[in-house]
């Protein structure tokens, strides 16, 4: 329970302010746990952050894969648009204070190489999911056979993360909508 509260607080705080800008004190206060308990369950702030990230990525991937790989009635483009449209609505509901934990961690400084490597691996997994989705579209003749799916998956993932950064800064969903509109030209 204590561990659970800590992870929930970490998810909330990190996705709003980023790893470097959240102090342990704030985590403890939000989770309502004492420092001793925290260091009993986690060996360091960074190890804790990786666990938060792991949970975030895994939970997200479950949904991502179910939308991108299992909606057999929809074309790849429709699947991708569905997923991103839902995310955009969520971001808007929370008034653009939360972003993508994984994407934001991309540009986090002051973290170990292990941390960065973990983020990189997770992003690879997300990208690979997009690629598989596109490949399936090729098989069904919903997508041009000449399309470089790896390249396209990379462009989509990175474009989306870039749009989220801009969204957070401008407190507007316009960048997200722009991105989604561009999918019509890309796929």
Partner DNA sequence: AAGACTAAACCGACCAGTCTAATAATTAAC
Partner DNA sequence: GTTAATTATTAGACTGGTCGGTTTAGTCTT
In Å, how far are 12, 18, 63, 78, 174 from 166, measured between CA atoms?
20, 15, 24, 24, 9
Task: Report which DSSP code applies to 107.
Answer: T
In the complex, least distance from residue 132 CB atom to a second copy, rounded to whole angstroms: 17
CA angle at 186 for the pair 183 and 187, rounded to the nearest 5°: 85
Token pair of 49, please?
A: 């952050």
Round to whole Å and give the CA distance between 109 and 19: 9
The reply on whether position 75 binds a second copy by CB under 8 A is no
**Would you count residue 81 as binding a second copy (CB under 8 A)?**
no
Q: Which helix (H) or strand (E) holds 132?
A: helix 113-139
- 109 near DNA, judged by CB under 7 A: no
Interface with a second copy, residue 60, by CB under 8 A = no
Using rule CB under 8 A, residue 36 touches a second copy: no
181 sits near a second copy (criterion: CB under 8 A):
yes
Tell whether residue 123 is a contact of a second copy (CB under 8 A).
Answer: yes
Q: Which of 16, 30, 37, 142 binds DNA (CB under 7 A)?
A: 37
Residues that bind a second copy (CB under 8 A): 17-18, 20-21, 99, 103-104, 106-107, 109-110, 116, 119-120, 123, 148, 151-152, 154-155, 157-163, 165-166, 168-170, 174-175, 178-179, 181-182, 185-186
């Amino acid at each position: 329970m204590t561990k659970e509260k800590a992870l929930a607080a970490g998810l909330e705080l990190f996705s709003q302010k980023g790893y470097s800008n959240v102090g342990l004190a704030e985590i403890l206060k939000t989770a309502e746990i004492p420092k001793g308990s925290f260091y009993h369950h986690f060996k360091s702030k960074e190890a804790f952050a990786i666990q938060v990230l792991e949970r975030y990525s895994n939970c997200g991937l479950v949904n991502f894969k179910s939308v991108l790989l299992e909606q057999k009635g929809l074309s790849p483009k429709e699947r991708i648009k569905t997923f991103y449209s839902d995310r955009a609505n969520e971001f808007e509901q929370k008034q653009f204070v939360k972003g993508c934990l994984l994407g934001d961690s991309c540009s986090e400084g002051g973290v170990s190489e292990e941390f960065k490597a973990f983020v990189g691996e997770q992003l690879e997994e997300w990208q690979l999911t997009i690629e598989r989705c596109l490949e399936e579209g090729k098989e069904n003749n919903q997508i041009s056979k000449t399309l470089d799916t790896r390249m396209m998956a990379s462009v989509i993932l990175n474009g989306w993360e870039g749009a989220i950064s801009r969204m957070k800064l401008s407190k507007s969903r316009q960048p997200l909508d722009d991105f989604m509109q561009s999918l019509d030209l890309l796929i």
